[in-house]
Amino acid sequence: MDVTQKKEYLKNPYFKLGFPQDRGVDPTSTNVDAVKKLLDLCPKAAKTPLIKSEVLSKKMGVKNIWFKDERERMGLGSFKALGATYVIASHAAEKVSSQSSLDEWKSSLSDRTYISASAGNHGLSLAAGARLFGARAVIYLSKNVPSNFAKRIKDYGADVVIYGNDYEESLAGAKQAADLNKWFLLSDVTWDGYDHGLKVMEGYLVMAAEAFDECIDKPTHIFLQAGVGGFPASVATLARKYYGNEIQIIIVEPTEAPVLLESIRAGKAVTVTGGVSNMGRLDCKNPSTKALSSLAITCTHFMTIADEDASNALKELKANNLNTSPSGAAGYAAITDAKNFIESQIDHNSNILLFLTEKPA
């Protein structure tokens, strides 16, 4: 599906119901306690801060804006540190016990190779998790991923393969290599016949629970930037458990890659085509199918922003000691456009929760 480069704000007709073909079943887990227990095995698995900005709240004309700051999560620089590392830790826990020695934990997966495609951050999490438990990691990156990500992934001992012109092509290469070599494909994406991405998404629950537990006032709006959909699906599902259906949850995508918005419009997963966005981690043309099914139930609106919006928001955030990437700034960037729509109901009483998903590249 070709997409035009226009900004949109789409009300989700499937909210609370889900796609008819999915029978209203949300596949996303809310078992955050299990995640916390396993992540306690990992070094640096400390809680990240929730930052309240009086300056930006005033600028936007709202009561509160909170930023869940994932820029230093586990020393890896993004929320995705919670995903693959959690899954690999769960595999290690199947082979050793809590009474096992540290050396036994460190070598528990020495006979296993994990492989995935990545836009950068998932690859870092997989590489770090593999190293913790003695496994090998192979990460496929497209030519569009910044070279510094390749270096950082290699620094964790992983093998990096540059393959394809975009994420979709690098994923195809990783799938082929996994089949050929009998390696464990650990993607953060789901598709027909592949659900391991749901376990990756489960790791993200920790971030959401930390944010919700610290919010003094109940959020009225949560803006969630999206690539294939795994991160926002986890956060949104847990938000509904915490807050019910009264709050608005808005999904934010680049105009170049509105794959979730167009899928909601179509009532099923679709592929989109478009240019390259400066919001690189959000520039995805195929959705994670299980994440999409979840978002159809939990989210009230889907919207798109332009690269220029992300760049302008990035400058404002940097000026307020909240420096991130264009992808990390997308949630904040969306507030201005959302205010133009009466149905957003953003006013001086609004409490807005955002996520700084990564540090600058």
Per residue in 201-224, pLDDT (tens digit) is 999 999 999 999 999 999 999 999
CA nearest 270: which of 253, 288, 250, 252?
A: 288
Q: Which residues pair with 223 in a beta bridge?
A: 250
Starting from the edge strand earliest in sequence, which strands make up the sheet with 50-52, in order?
9-11, 301-305, 248-254, 221-225, 351-356, 64-69, 50-52
Q: What is the pLDDT of residue 39?
A: 81
Are the C-beta atoms of 92 and 133 separated by less than 8 Å? Answer: yes
Three-state DSSP class for residue 340:
coil
Q: Which residue type, as a one-letter code, is found at position 165?
A: N
Q: Which is it for strands 9-11 and 351-356: parallel, antiparallel or unpaired?
A: unpaired
Residue 4, pLDDT score: 63
| 124: enclosing H helix or E strand | helix 121-132
Amino acid at 251: I
Q: What is the pLDDT of residues 89-144, one digit of tens each?
A: 999 999 987 777 888 989 999 999 999 999 878 999 999 999 999 999 999 999 98
- The per-type count for the chain, helices as H runs and strands as E runs, is 14, 11
Copy the structure tokens of residue 348: 């001086």
Beta carbons within 10 angstroms of residue 158's beta carbon: 25
pLDDT of residue 140: 97
Q: Which has the closest alpha carbon to 328: 259, 286, 282?
A: 282
- Residues (pLDDT < 50) of the chain are none
Q: Which domains does the chain have, with CATH numbers?
A: 9-77+204-356 (3.40.50.1100), 80-200 (3.40.50.1100)
Which residue reads 């593999």 in tokens?
130
Q: What would the two tokens of residue 15 be?
A: 């909210």
Report pLDDT for 260.
Answer: 98
